[in-house]
Structure formats: structure tokens, C-alpha cells
């Protein structure tokens, strides 16, 4: 069952499942749903995932799935301690209190007694929050399709995902359209629905597809399936998604939510990642 790229794109536009056989699907308890829809600058449309659907794919749980993120801090400016402040007053002597402080400061300074005993001002710096990096979600599969039809389905789904990571061409050759946004969720029971399982997916917020890896020689050589079609017998597919916006803790329930959702004062908190 060899298929061309145009057929693969047409299959990707529909709700697609792997594996295709209903009996095999019944044996799978957990599914990863990957849905894409057209990008919008309007945060309300993004929040409620309103846009032209680009794909709705259901895969069995990846052999490897990992979520990573990091937060950046910068050391605050060092503040003058008592010793430094006292010494500085030597140049601005005024009343008796200033003279006393200056004399004390000299004894405590690096040129006085403090130098002998190694006494210094305490470091008063603090780590100041400077920003959070965009969280990433990585998924890796190794598929061994049983027949040419199943291998063709993997080709269709992986090609479609790879294409959706790129911008769309506009009428003007100097312009392009932003790649679509992705919604990621793990469900128990399915495909096509079931119970959300945030314990597995870590409640991803809207994301972009940042990296796609498609290895058609996952067994170490170009092994094929099908008597005449010669489609890849082993597929290794890796996807990396990065969340579209920075995350904050919701005022409503302390969940991690995107900036757009937080701007709605928590009204949409129950929409994304509402499964408990």
C-alpha cells in the first residue's frame, strides 16, 4: 500500500489513529492526543482553541516522554553593610554622631582592626527572579508496523506533523503564516476520548512543534514490510513541543497556566488541564 505525499497530507487532515486495527486499539489503555489548530494573535481564540483544525492524532503512549523547564534568577546588587557605610561617612563629617561613626568605622574597616581579624560586611545579596524559560515536552516512539497499511499510516501521520512545524506560504513571497499551535493531552480509554490523565502529560499548555525526528531505519538497516510496497518496517519518531507562552501560577488554584489564561483572572482554568 504505497501512498504519495498528497495522500499522506489528506489523511493527516482527518482524525487519525495508530494502530489502525480496532482490536489492537482495545488493548491500549493510555493514549496521547495531538491536536493542531491555526494560529491567532487573539488570546481568547488561543485559550479556547478556536481555529481551523489542522490535525487530530491519537498515538499510544510514547516509549519515552519527558517534560523540562527552568527558571532564571540573577543576583541582586550588593548593598553596603555597616562597615562600609561607616567608613563612607568619613568624607561627609557633620555632627558628633557622624564623627563617632567615622571613628568606629575606621576601627572596623579593612585598614583598622577588622583587617587584622578578617572581619567583613555580610554579603546581603539575594537571588532575584528574572524570568522562566519556555517548558518543553518530548515524546519518542519506536513503532514496528505489522503490515504495509500500518506503515503507510505512520508515514502519513509523521509527514503531516513534520509539515505542521513549518510556516505556511502566503500569496506574497516575502510573507508567511505562523505555524499552528498544538494541544497535547493523555487520555485513559479511547482513542477519541476518555478520562484526562494529567499525571502522565503534566498538563501541557498550548505549544509549538519545535523539533521532529523521523528515523525510517530504526532497526539498523532499511528493512521493509509488504510483499510489493516495501514500506519501512521500523519507525522511530521523536517530537519536541515548546509551550507558546510563559507560565505562571493561577490565582484560582495554583496550577501552572499560560500567560493568556492568567489574564482572564482564572476563568479558563477549568478549560485546559481540568482533569483531576
- What pLDDT, on a 0 to 100 scale, did the predictor assign at position 50? 79
- Count of Cβ atoms closer than 10 Å to residue 241 Cβ: 25
Residue 44 lies in a domain: yes
Residue 217's nearest CA partner among 159, 144, 138, 140 is 144
* 104 & 148 share domain: no
CA–CA separation, 96 vs 264, rounded Å?
58
- What pLDDT, on a 0 to 100 scale, did the predictor assign at position 267? 47
- What pLDDT, on a 0 to 100 scale, did the predictor assign at position 28? 95
Look-up of cell digits 484560582: 252
* 66 & 94 share domain: no
Residue 193 scores a pLDDT above 90: no
Residue 102 neighbours by CB under 8 Å, 6+ apart: 86, 87, 89, 90, 93
* 62 & 178 share domain: yes
pLDDT mean across residues, the chain: 83
- What pLDDT, on a 0 to 100 scale, did the predictor assign at position 268? 44
Q: Are the CB atoms for 249 and 170 separated by under 8 Å?
A: no
- What pLDDT, on a 0 to 100 scale, did the predictor assign at position 81? 58
* 140 & 238 share domain: yes
User: Can you name the residues that pair with 256 across neighbouring β-strands?
Assistant: 249
- Please give the tally of structural domains in the chain: 2
In the 3-class helix/strand/coil scheme, how is 51-90 assigned residue by residue? CCEEEEEEEECCCEEEEECCEEEEECCCCCCHHHHHHHHH
**pLDDT range class, residue 45, cuts 50, 70, 90:** confident
Q: Are the CB atoms for 35 and 53 separated by under 8 Å?
A: yes
Residue 214 scores a pLDDT above 80: yes
- In this prediction, residues 15-41 reach a mean pLDDT of 93
Residue-wise pLDDT for 58-117, tens only, equals 999 999 999 999 999 998 876 655 555 555 554 454 555 565 665 555 555 555 566 666
User: Can you name the residues that pair with 214 across neighbouring β-strands?
Assistant: 237
- What pLDDT, on a 0 to 100 scale, did the predictor assign at position 276? 36
Residue-wise pLDDT for 126-145, tens only, equals 899 999 999 999 999 999 99
Q: Give 224-245 as a DSSP string.
A: EESTTT-EES-EEEEEEEEESS
Higher pLDDT, 16 or 12: 16
C-alpha cell at 258: 499560560
Full residue range of the structural domain in which residue 112 is found: 78-124
- What pLDDT, on a 0 to 100 scale, did the predictor assign at position 109? 56
**pLDDT range class, residue 275, cuts 50, 70, 90:** very low
* 111 & 241 share domain: no
* 168 & 219 share domain: yes
- Count of Cβ atoms closer than 10 Å to residue 36 Cβ: 26
Amino acid at each position: 500500500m504505497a501512498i504519495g505525499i498528497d495522500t499522506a497530507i489528506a489523511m493527516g487532515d482527518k482524525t487519525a489513529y495508530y494502530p489502525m486495527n480496532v482490536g489492537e486499539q482495545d488493548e491500549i489503555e493510555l493514549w496521547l492526543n495531538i491536536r493542531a489548530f491555526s494560529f491567532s494573535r487573539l488570546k481568547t481564540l488561543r485559550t479556547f482553541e478556536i481555529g481551523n483544525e489542522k490535525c487530530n492524532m491519537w498515538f499510544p503512549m510514547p516509549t519515552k516522554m519527558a517534560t523540562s523547564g527552568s527558571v532564571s534568577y540573577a543576583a541582586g546588587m550588593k548593598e553596603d553593610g555597616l562597615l562600609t557605610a561607616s567608613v563612607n561617612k568619613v568624607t561627609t563629617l557633620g555632627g558628633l554622631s557622624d564623627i563617632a561613626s567615622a571613628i568606629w568605622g575606621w576601627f572596623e574597616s579593612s585598614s583598622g582592626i577588622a583587617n587584622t581579624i578578617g572581619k567583613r560586611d555580610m554579603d546581603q545579596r539575594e537571588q532575584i527572579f528574572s524570568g522562566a524559560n519556555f517548558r518543553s515536552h518530548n515524546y519518542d516512539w519506536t513503532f514496528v508496523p505489522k503490515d504495509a497499511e500500518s506503515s503507510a499510516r505512520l508515514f502519513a501521520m509523521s509527514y503531516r506533523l513534520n509539515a505542521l512545524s513549518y510556516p505556511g506560504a502566503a500569496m506574497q513571497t516575502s510573507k508567511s503564516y505562523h505555524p499552528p499551535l498544538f494541544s497535547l493531552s493523555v487520555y485513559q480509554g479511547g482513542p477519541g476520548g476518555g478520562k484526562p490523565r494529567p499525571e502522565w502529560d503534566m498538563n501541557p499548555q498550548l505549544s509549538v512543534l519545535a523539533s521532529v525526528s523521523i528515523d525510517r531505519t530504526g532497526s539498523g538497516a532499511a528493512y521493509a514490510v509488504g510483499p510489493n510496497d516495501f514500506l519501512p518496517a521500523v519507525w522511530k519518531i521523536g517530537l519536541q513541543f515548546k509551550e507558546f507562552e510563559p507560565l505562571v501560577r493561577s490565582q484560582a488554584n495554583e496550577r501552572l497556566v499560560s500567560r493568556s489564561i492568567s489574564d482572564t483572572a482564572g476563568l479558563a482554568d477549568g478549560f485546559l488541564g481540568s482533569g483531576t
